Amino acid sequence: MTEKIRKSAKILVFSTEKISDPAIDMAGLLKLHYPPTVYTITVPCSSGIKSRWILHAYEKGFDGVFIAADGTDCVFGESCTEKTGQLVGRTHVLMKEKSLDPARLKMAAICSVCSESFVKQIKGFNEYLLKTTNP
């Protein structure tokens, strides 16, 4: 068997039901391609993601975790942006403790029609991860 060439990194995306997941859907609708090793788990709001889930993903072999945050559009209120930022901050600390590169966790606000931005971000993230992580 020939050695597999790694074309894309394994990325877990946390999307949100009302805001960022529709954008990811629309990326598909518009046939904007991104690597198929990007998997989404949808939650109600990005500010409710636990650090332990993120760490669990690295432990199980994910190269990166991408939080497609609600941003200011969040239906649960403006504090979402700040709180999502805080949880990312806390997780970065925990990642450093485990000597994980904090850049393997990325967050960006993805509005409900930000399909292009989502795909751009994911592609950039994928390239970064391919360069920095070993298969």
Partner 1 sequence: MKKKIGVYICHCGGNISDYVDVEKVKKSIEDEGGVYLAKTTMFACSDSNQKDMVDDIKGNELNGIVVASCSPKLHLTTFRNVSERADLNKYNYVHANIREQDSWAHSDDKNGATEKAILLVKAAIAKARLAEPLIPNKIQAQKAVAVIGGGIAGMKAAIALSDKDCPVYLIEKAPFVGGRVAQWGNMFTSNQTGEELITKLYHELIKRKNITLFTGAEVTHNAGSIGDFRLKVSVQPRYFTGTCEEKQLQQAIDACPVEVLDEFNFNLTKRKAIYRNAASEYPQTATIDMENCTRCGKCEAICDKIDLSQKEEILDLHVGSVLMATGFDPYTPAEGEYGYNEVDNVLTLPQFVRMLELSDKKLIRNGKEIKNIAYIYCVGSRQEEDGNTYCSRYCCTSAIHTSVEVKKKFPGVYNYHFNRGIRTYGKQELLYAESLQLGDIYLQGDEESLPEVSGESGKTMVKVKDILSAGRLIEVEADLVVLVTGMVPRADNSVGSMFKLPKGRDKFFNEIHMKLRPVETFIDGVTIAGACQGPKNIMESVNSALAAATKSYSYVSKGELETEPIVAEVDAELCSWCDACTAACPFDAISMTNESSKAIALINNSVCKGCGMCLPVCPTDALNLIAYSNNEIESMIDALAAG
Binding site for partner 1 (CB under 8 A): 8, 10, 12, 18-19, 21-22, 24-29, 31-37, 39-41, 43-45, 47-53, 56-57, 60-62, 73-77, 79-80, 83, 87, 90, 111-113
Q: Min. distance of Cβ 81 from partner 1 in angstroms?
A: 12
What are the two backbone dihedrals, phi and then psi, of residue 47, each rounded to the nearest 5 degrees? -80, 5
SS3 per residue for 26-74:
HHHHCCCCCCCCEEEEEECCHHHCCHHHHHHHHHCCCCEEEEEECHHHC
* Beta bridge partner(s), residue 109: 69
| Closer Cβ to partner 1, 33 or 96, answer by number | 33
Q: Min. distance of Cβ 10 from partner 1 in angstroms?
A: 8
Q: Min. distance of Cβ 89 from partner 1 in angstroms?
A: 11
| Residue 42 tokens, joined | 């949808």
| Closer Cβ to partner 1, 50 or 96, answer by number | 50
Q: Min. distance of Cβ 106 from partner 1 in angstroms?
A: 17
| Closer Cβ to partner 1, 87 or 108, answer by number | 87
Q: Min. distance of Cβ 17 from partner 1 in angstroms?
A: 9
| Closer Cβ to partner 1, 60 or 131, answer by number | 60
* Beta bridge partner(s), residue 68: 108
Q: What is the DSSP letter of 107?
A: E
| Residue 2 tokens, joined | 């020939």
Residues in the chain: 135
